[in-house]
Amino acid sequence: MKRVVLFLLTNLAVMLVLGIVLSILMSVFGISNRSLGGILMIATVFGFGGSFISLFMSKWMAKKSTGAYVIEQPRNETEHWLVNTVAAQAKKAGIAMPEVAIYDSPEMNAFATGPSKNNSLVAVSSGLLQHMDQDQAEAVLAHEVSHVANGDMVTLTLIQGVVNTFVIFIAKVLAGIVDNFINSDEEEGGSSWTYFLFDMIFQVLFGVLASVIVAYYSRKREFAADAGAAHLVGAQKMRSALERLKQNHPSQLEGSMMAFGIASGKGVAELFSSHPPLDDRINALR
């Protein structure tokens, strides 16, 4: 419930901010929201704006939604090992030291997030620390550090922004065409209930197709992060970690955290999955 409320409040705040920005831009440039230029501006502001705001808020959202504890002063041997391991890997990968955190969850998982290579967070679950040996946990950390070093968070944001913009733009244009066809000259285009209805329908339909594109990119980046981990700690450790994940609990991560986690939930259709099958990832490391 905490995650749901936080998600809704955050998205309402983002929509309000973007709505105000859009209103100002429309007034300054004197653009009608019913013209192609106006529709493109709406699509761009909400498409890219939402993605980049989410990126810049990603660390804060991740900490709040998972209840992650950031290790500032290690309190025990495990925390010392986590911080030292991430520090060594970050130095080898050529990035600034990420924040290191632990979140309470029975699943064996971890995720990386943050707005840039030099402003990131690497978090591991309590379940991973309990059920993986040190070599396997080291490989998982290397996988997350590789996501950061590869700039995957920023690139995924750009891809998400592009597809969001196209979805919104095409949906609104098609909704206007359908609305004009249905209502003819009875109502001014873009103002009837049929326009809003078809706008929502088209956004949902094209949004589903867009999610396939984003998921495909995410799966490709998983292979790259696995290869990066193999470079940092050795392919055998990474394969061992992936083998261990076959006994995992279903993932509780959501959104971008799932996209940059080590494992995703099971039973999701492969086209929409952010992660490739574990066996494919293991074979790719051989």
Q: Where are the alpha helices (DSSP H) in the chain?
A: 2-29, 36-56, 58-66, 77-93, 126-131, 134-149, 152-183, 193-233, 235-244, 255-259, 278-284
Alpha carbon distance 170, 168 (integer Å): 6
- Residues written for the chain: 286
Is there a binding annotation on residue 80?
A: no
Alpha carbon distance 278, 134 (integer Å): 20
The closest alpha carbon to 112, from 82, 87, 141, belongs to 141
Active site residue 144: yes
Order of strands across the sheet that contains 119-125: 69-70, 99-103, 119-125, 110-116
Is there a binding annotation on residue 131?
A: no
Is there a binding annotation on residue 147?
A: yes
**Dihedral of the alpha carbons of 251, 257, 260, 262, in degrees to the nearest 10:** -30
Give the phi and the psi of residue 188 in degrees, each rounded to 5. -75, 135
Active-site residue (options: 72, 79, 144, 187): 144
Token look-up 């990035």 returns 95
Which positions make up the binding site? 143, 147, 222
> Which residues are catalytically annotated?
144
Which positions make up the binding site for Zn(2+)? 143, 147, 222
